[in-house]
Chains A and B, each alone.
Chain A
Amino acid sequence: MREVDRDIRERIAALELALRERAPRRPRGLAGGGRGRGPLGVGDLEGAREVECDLGCCLVLERDVGGLVSPADLGRAAEKLAGSPAGRRYVFLDLETTGFSATPLFLAGTMFEKDGGLSCTQLLARDYSEERAVLGMLDRLIGGFDVCITFNGKSFDMPYMRERAKYHRLALACDPEHLDLLHHARRKWRDSLPDCRLTTLERHILRRRRSGDVPGREVPCIYHEFVHTGDARRLVDVIRHNLMDVVSMAELLIRLAEA
């Protein structure tokens, strides 16, 4: 920091005081509902490794979710729903962001077939500076597939990704076909369900509830906290939330393709 003279320092101190008065207090016990462990480093997460590309570094979390749904069933369901020819390669996508627009995205959850099973790959920006790398790697990852499957991605995930790419002045190479499950879900269940949000569909169609899930509106706050403190204890919940979203999408796809 530049050396400043005394009176400037005094004025800045006053400014700081004024801003502090206005700043919202950090909620108590934010660091994880008293789980009683010390801070959790993000590198300690299961399946985590740092990956570097020409746009910088980010964290990749990989895990096998094989056995949940058969990739072959998924392929058939997607073909039926999208009316596309056989043999296409599919990838599920769900983004976690720090707002509804113009703010960074920090987590991209993807799921695809790998070695006959399903693999989930999550790209995590450990801070705002890694968003570029997440975008670049995500672009490359999606580029390896023919069809991208999302839930409300037509109006949220895909435009968000494109907007963030513009923000970083990156040219996206990937241009997959897009299968948005929300539109199909609406068509099928609009009259029988109160709404077609993913959690509603999980409860009524997939017949399960998530326990200890993070409400979506808290996600941005948890991420900012994580960047400030480096403690990943609550971020773990967001990462799981993202994973669950992707898994639910796969199950939903099967249901949607049923007669």
Chain B
Amino acid sequence: MAKVLMRRKALWLAMLAALSAGVYLSLWGCGTSGYSNPQQDAAAKYYKQDSVSGISLVEPATVKTWVEKGKTDAGQRVVVLDCVPNGSGVFTYSDTESWFAGDKAKILQNLSDQYGGTTSAQYKSFSAMADSMFGHIPGAIPSVSHEGYEVAVRNDGPIEADHEVGTGPLIEQMLRKYGITKNDVIVISTSRYDYPGFCPSRLWWTLYYWGFAKENIRVLNGGNKAYAMAGGALQKGVTLPLVTASTFSLTELPQRHLDARISLGELIALVDSGRTSLPDTDADKVVVLDTRQPPVAYYFADQNSNGVPDIFELAGYSYSSSTKLFTRGADSAVLTLSEVLFKETTPARVAFSGTTNPPITLPNPYMGITTPTGPSLNGGTPLAIPLGAKGAAFEGIVKGAKVTKTGAWNITVPAITRADGGYKTKAELLPIFAAAGIDGSKPIVVYCNSGALASIYWYVFHEICEFQNVRMYDGSWQEWAMLAAYEPVDNTYVMTDDYTAFPSYPAASPSVVFFAAPNQYLEWNGTKFVDKYTGADASAHVKAGGTLGGIPKWDTITRSEHVIFRSTKTINDNSNGSIPFKLRTYSGAVDWPTVTTYPNYQGAGNLIYEQDKAYNGSSAATGSGAAPTPFTPKGGGC
């Protein structure tokens, strides 16, 4: 009996020990084993090549091999998209029947239309180009951005803005039309050479935004031009491949890269936080880069002090400082600066390039680009105010933004690209950007006029320099600068000078704007508008109104620097008629165009993000099926 009791006691103790150990081990190790996430697994598999350096950029020799085989080395089907902006109706010929078709005569006709005759630098640069350099890669499909799929009119909350990222249904329609499926490799190129590659980079950004793996979307470095220079034969004519429409859905892609875009509301919040205006050395700095190619460096020295800027002292022309007009000596025809620069057939031009500035003598009374008076006049760094031709209520830059060219740095497109149009290498680019205080250690936001030129910088930063935190504000200036809760009372802070009315359609890069007079800029100091340089109260020259009807919640004038209003029709009509060039300043296409705003909108200003995040595939509710309406862009350039 005692033995039995002893045995039971031993068993009892063993039992308690086992239970205690089990409980302890369970608590210690938390005791549950995890499960994989199929969505994450699929995403990891699909995006496995995303971390490969430079994976999204493909060189012409590789594409040539792919085109010959019809597939990549890994056996994936290759689809070449030839990105051009314009359909029919913008110039004499559409981009498809001119650039894509490689029809040199039509190309030159369009260049003449666009750049003002046959003597423009743009015209000449292509008129001398060999005919074999024009055309498209065999089998390529023309992708016309202004057909309205890739870019769309959308609303982040307070305004309907052009050129926003295409909606899910629109992008799906576009890709289905091209017969694209998830695992195809899309080579993105362009046959249009006067634009510095922003059509391919914008499409790449769009497809990346919607979730494509980098391995499946490749930018042809240098476009068709580089392809031809590398020995690839370009095809002539509008020879479209036989495409079977696909049933592709964006929902097939494991994730979206919505952070590649920054919404209006987010950018406003960044500006309001003050982070965009911090010095580069501050850890909280957010770098905002205005990528519009600036008219910097065309300062008007008057070294002989005769009252005429040296730059305007052109052989065969006389210049009047009072009327700011030229008179052609041959026939006494009166011409504006724009006409002299872009319409005249004689070489009445100032030699310029994208990388070299004319000599500047300071002080300079005509240096309208920077301060006419004040501390920075002598020895200060000239400021380049990017001026776009897109619809806007005012000009300036987002508060705290850097520009692409100053006296201290030059990061314009020509500075970051090769002679064949391809991008420079990471090793070449890093010191160029470092000079501008951009090294990837801080978040970067890029914008331009309509999110096209900015996409080049987004692509270079994100894909070549491999900066991690880069976002593009696709609304860009044509959204930002239409959110005006104020308007000018008089011409004091309005671009009234003829020469700020830059050419009707500026060259892509470098665009050029000449200032013949000291424009004045104003800024919001937190409580009122003041002159940028004198600090004088400018309130009397501004009144509530504008596109937001005086409701300031979404106003961006108060969130910008170097503000100068575009002329309004009212101001021009009511202005002093004795100044003959004033009425020519106003352009209804780009100055205060009619827009739809929602000044009392109370949300976060990120409706597009919310819509795209929630997009769950085409359906009747999401508007699939109906093709978009092609549009002709207002103004030009980016």
A binds B: no
Chain B interface residues toward A at CB < 8 A: none
Chain A interface residues toward B at CB < 8 A: none
